[in-house]
Amino acid sequence: MDQRVENYYADLVLSLGDYVLMGGDLPAQVFLESFLRLIPGVVGKQESVEAESFNDSFLDYPEYGLPTEWNGKKVPEIVQSGDHKKIADWRRKKAAEKTIHNRFDWFSKSNPSKGEIMVAKQFIPNHYVALMHTDVFVKNDMVGNTSITSLDIHDIARSCATYDITNYFIVSPLEDQQKILHTFLTFWRSEEGKEYNQSRFDAVTRVVPAIDLQDVLNQIKEKEGKNPIIISTSARFKDTEKKIIIDFYSQGRIFSLGRPILFVFGTAKGLSDNVIAQSNFLLHPIVGMSDYNHLSVRSAVAIILDRWLGINYKSEW
């Protein structure tokens, strides 16, 4: 319609979604149907309206009807059990699983309660972070080692604690570097360190030393009984790499693979080809609206964890 009509008459402009139709009749029907059913009495059973997708943090649970067996496929036993409490718990779990695997974006902006987060976490595999001080490009595109910095230990540990990363591996095969790490950790984890800075003490409990990527993988396998999915990060990936590049909307699909997840971060000039070759996926670089792309690894970890696992509060204003 003429823009002037909208500008002059409309109090509210609505869009049904990011797609284009050939006229206003279908949107009008969809609009009416989705809103009218919320008026008490329009739908026979008010509970059906209250317990459906988008009313809370979860999509609707899977529904089953009759017959109890169809084409050899049975209605889950629990649904037929008649135990209302068990059925309610099962439905909530199934709803959470479906949401986390298919619509993590909805969950993360739905202002979930602590209880909902607890249920959701059952379907989010354990996450790990590795900071590589070895197997990285150093000067003149040579692969080598870098020094551990105290800031990267505790700042990244704080990010890891915020997003509930199970362990943060600091990876260096160099004995002197491991000693430095050990010295810091021993102090920060001591009673004296705890008294001096309790939140740092809490965060650094997640830090684990490792000598190389294989050591990280072994430690995760030992803990989880499964190999992790390795997701490597970089400010820019070379075009030639034959790896799947995932984006910040891929977490549900990755979670549904049911394996622990390891994010690998580099130092110096970034992860070596060897680390990239071992990765299952590469994460698309973080980009801003400028040509500058030299984030500190601390910032990169924080941004990536927030986009991947963050609860993104949505205000009603």
- Considering the rule CB under 6 A, would residue 236 count as an interface residue with ligand SAM? yes
Which region, judged by CB under 6 A, interacts with ligand SAM, from 62-70, 148-156, 254-262, 290-298? 290-298
Helix 175-188 vs helix 150-162: crossing angle, to nearest 10? 60
Of residues 128 and 265, the one with the C-beta less far from ligand SAM: 265
Of residues 94 and 133, the one with the C-beta less far from ligand SAM: 133
Q: Which residue of 159, 234, 251, 279 would you call a contact of ligand SAM, by CB under 6 A? A: 234
- Considering the rule CB under 6 A, would residue 146 count as an interface residue with ligand SAM? no
- Considering the rule CB under 6 A, would residue 279 count as an interface residue with ligand SAM? no
Which region, judged by CB under 6 A, interacts with ligand SAM, from 58-66, 119-127, 154-162, 266-274? 266-274
Token pair for residue 36? 């009218």
- Considering the rule CB under 6 A, would residue 134 count as an interface residue with ligand SAM? no
- Considering the rule CB under 6 A, would residue 168 count as an interface residue with ligand SAM? no
Residue 283 C-beta: closest distance to ligand SAM, Å: 7
Question: Cis ω on the peptide bond leading into residue 67 (within 30° of 0)?
Answer: yes
- Considering the rule CB under 6 A, would residue 173 count as an interface residue with ligand SAM? no
Which region, judged by CB under 6 A, interacts with ligand SAM, from 56-64, 95-103, 177-185, 293-301? 293-301
Which region, judged by CB under 6 A, interacts with ligand SAM, from 75-83, 106-114, 160-168, 229-237? 229-237
Of residues 87 and 295, the one with the C-beta less far from ligand SAM: 295
Which residues sit at the interface with ligand SAM, rule CB under 6 A?
233-236, 265-267, 269-271, 285-286, 293, 295, 297, 300
